[in-house]
Structure 1
């Protein structure tokens, strides 16, 4: 969740001349287009909270509970609008997560054992300790099965907070958080797949498996056209939905298949387009110098043919996983996640609800698990891994920074709300859980920010930064 270097420089320059720009500068990482961002999600959650607690609340909730039905002959499927958002749109968010997880394991921070041990150990601690805290509060109560709520973090918000210190923290801090988030997301997805799947319909699961095998086969054959992959992806979604497993798993499964290397290296691209570029130049000149229209038309056709070849070669240098994430990210950030918040945040704020939450084991377990359990578990397990010599701290990274990473990891907003909906199915406990998740995420975000602020190197002054460009981004 970082701004591009050029955009970072632009924002820093504006901050020298505008007080408003200095305020917007700090918010910019929450609205970055290049990666899934938490700003639109947070705004949508606040809008939903206001609407639910306004005179329009009843009609607003009834809108999301309106049934949307699709039928063909004897086949029919009908679900409330809110469920369509969760089942049909949220898999796109999890598709990005699955893709990012694969990239981290294949070529990122988890590609070698040495770089993977520290975040892996931290992720185990960041899973076990929060769940243990939650179970300690809820053991023997009807809400004990909601332990999955504290299992995963919200990567978008966590990375946005770290991005606020872009030049004041070592790049390795973001790498550690990315690696931790990737492993943590895997744990969260396993929780969804295993703990909150009531029953399996093996027939539909076999349909999904067959479509999945079809994608694998096409990848092995080097199939390029995307239409076949889209159709098979839809078949996987239908199969997983019909099987009883939550369809978000379909998104993750497809994301794990996407190639993280391009079909053509830049070196091979240069070699292959040299002659077509010469032919393109010659065809353009021939069309310009033609004495009659038929010769000019042939020249233009040849030029278009060479352009098509060069275009396809250029496309082959693009990594499929990166291309898909680039296409989906703006839609997920500014449409899918806001719709999720608008349809799922239904907290009826009242003195009675707040009093209930303050005394409910469910709320206490969630807040303690996320705010305390995540940083303590991550920090302790990471420290133990280095103490036993299994891992080393990255260059420039301090233990206070590691604690700050654990702090922002306690922001569980998106996936925690999602798991809460699965665990409590809109019944008793859903509102209390949602309120606790919101409170815990705010507290964790503030805690993580303060720890990282104290660990970061001092910001440069305006006078020092004049002409320094992006360094001012962290002033």
Structure 2
């Protein structure tokens, strides 16, 4: 049983299983499915959707707005390490071309999405325009797995893809915060969030290390770690989350200010690196402790968000798909080529320029983050359902990537 669970968790299959169950359920008995999604856990709660002047905590809100904060915190941890650490993957010249390609991988989908929407007429454009960010997303986990199938685990294009996906995640977090507020903006509450993060950093990270200066046994830091563990950061995280909820910025991003405050290693082995399991800094310990719980959260995220009826397919479905399947590969190839050739930033040794096309196809798997953006970009209804269907269908990029890899004669490098 443990082996089965480990396989499901390592390959993020719980999310897919949840999405498949949701699709079947919503198309067989839609009323019972929607009743399940909006199940009220706590009426007149201190947190939740505003309903008739009071907050209602539903199952959907618990997963999307509360528990998904753990998923975005893990993504933020990887982005933070990639940017801040001396050997971080998003530092220096080695990251220049992937970052340039990331920009293309966002502008390409936006251009295709809004361009086709404009051609379809002003009425369609007005209905779907707010979903422009949906096809900019890249699902890191599934793109990584498909990338290994296309290129082999040892191919430099896989690392290029991961750099691109991490940068894409960072940009996506900014887009969610800036362009998709969850309510009326009250930015003063962000002072509460960042204040909680600053306070926990000073009291439980910086001050103990300062007091331990010149002491090899580090008594203060050791006592904090042994006696208090992650609890100060959990409390600060809850406070930060509440501040984001009150500020109007989507609360799923509420843990982001606290992530940099947690003690972390001075090195990172890269996203999905098994070697990081042997790092014992608090940030890595927390990440690995959250791995399996977050997989369960993703199961429920798929279950509560992917339940759309096939009859709901519409303009938004095809616009999201066009943005991902056409805009992503084109944008990544064009901007990657400009960075590598005219700007002479180069690409990793062992990778061909034409491989950028295959990388772009793999990066077109939006799925998790595309589903999330669709759920906040549109109100519940036919347009949101149609957009979600496009995010689900982006899995077609996996088959397209394998086919493109063979047509381009990609040489797989294992190990």
Gaps of 5+ in 2: 49-53, 209-223, 268-276
Separation in 1, partners of 2:191, 2:113? 36
- Name the counterpart of 2:397: 444
Q: 1:420 to 1:124 in 2, by over 3 A?
A: same
CA drift at 1:72 = 8.0
Q: 1:453 to 1:70 in 2, by over 3 A?
A: farther
Q: How many residues align?
A: 371
User: Which segment drifts farther, 67-76 or 372-381?
Assistant: 67-76
Separation in 1, partners of 2:382, 2:262? 40
- Name the counterpart of 1:337: 298
Q: Among 329, 332, 344, which residue is 1:378 paired with?
A: 332
- Name the counterpart of 2:252: 248
Separation in 1, partners of 2:288, 2:261? 17
Q: TM-score, normalised by structure 2?
A: 0.81
Q: Among 64, 68, 71, which residue is 2:37 paired with?
A: 64
CA drift at 1:73 = 9.7
**1:223-302 matches, cutoff 5 A:** 223-224=224-225, 225=228, 226-261=230-265
User: Which segment drifts farther, 241-250 or 91-100?
Assistant: 241-250
Separation in 2, partners of 1:73, 1:53? 34
**1:162-173 matches, cutoff 5 A:** 162-164=147-149, 168=152, 170-173=154-157
Is this contact kept in 2: 1:262–1:319, CA < 8 A? no
- Name the counterpart of 1:300: none
Matched, 1:134 2:124: no
**1:20-419 matches, cutoff 5 A:** 31=8, 33=10, 37-55=11-29, 57-69=30-42, 77-107=55-85, 110-139=89-118, 140=122, 141=125, 142-164=127-149, 168=152, 170-197=154-181, 198-217=183-202, 218-222=204-208, 223-224=224-225, 225=228, 226-261=230-265, 318-333=280-295, 335-350=296-311, 353-354=312-313, 357=314, 360=315, 362-419=316-373
Separation in 1, partners of 2:14, 2:45? 36
Separation in 1, partners of 2:188, 2:411? 57
Deviations 1:353-408 (A, max 9, x none): 34xx2xx2x23321111001111101110110011244211111122332212111
Separation in 2, partners of 1:165, 1:134? 27
Q: 1:183 to 1:66 in 2, by over 3 A?
A: same
Separation in 2, partners of 1:262, 1:115? 19
Is this contact kept in 2: 1:100–1:182, CA < 8 A? yes
Q: 1:176 to 1:259 in 2, by over 3 A?
A: farther
Is this contact kept in 1: 2:131–2:378, CA < 8 A? yes
Gaps of 5+ in 1: 1-10, 12-23, 264-314, 460-469
Deviations 1:255-278 (A, max 9, x none): 344444169xxxxxxxxxxxxxxx
Separation in 1, partners of 2:165, 2:309? 31
Q: 1:412 to 1:319 in 2, by over 3 A?
A: same
Q: Which one has the largest radius of gyration? A: 1
Is this contact kept in 1: 2:187–2:248, CA < 8 A? no
Q: 1:47 to 1:219 in 2, by over 3 A?
A: same
Q: 1:383 to 1:255 in 2, by over 3 A?
A: same
Separation in 1, partners of 2:47, 2:62? 21
Is this contact kept in 1: 2:362–2:398, CA < 8 A? yes
Separation in 2, partners of 1:53, 1:366? 21
Separation in 2, partners of 1:398, 1:29? 35
